[in-house]
Structure 1
C-alpha cells in the first residue's frame, strides 16, 4: 500500500522567498569576526610583524575606533 503524501493547505503563490533566520545565525558569525579581528589587532604581537608600518597604523586606528 503506497504512503500518502501530505500537501500544504495554502501553497505559496507569491514570487518572493520568505526566509527567516534565527538571531544566532547572524550573531555567531559577527562574534567570530570580532574575535578574530581582536586577535589580529593585539598590540603585543605587533613587534613581531615585519609588514608595512602603514598597515600596522591602520590596524591601530581601527582598534582605537572599536574601543571607544
Structure 2
C-alpha cells in the first residue's frame, strides 16, 4: 500500500515578490546623492569653516581631474 504525500498549499500569486516602498525611501537617498555630488563638483558653493589650505588645494585638484 502506498503512502500519500502531503503537499503544502501555495498561495495564489503570480510568482513574483511584492515589495512596496514608500516614495521617500527612494527620493531622499537620491536627493542626498545629488546634493553631495553638486557640492563636490562646485566646492566654491560649500561654505565651510576656514581650514587648511592644503585641503582646499586637494579638493580643487580633484575637481580638475573629474572635469577632464
Instruction: Indicate the structure whose relative CO is greater, using CA pairs within 8 Å and at least 6 residues apart.
Output: 1
Bigger helix fraction: 1
Larger gyration radius, structure 1 or structure 2: 2
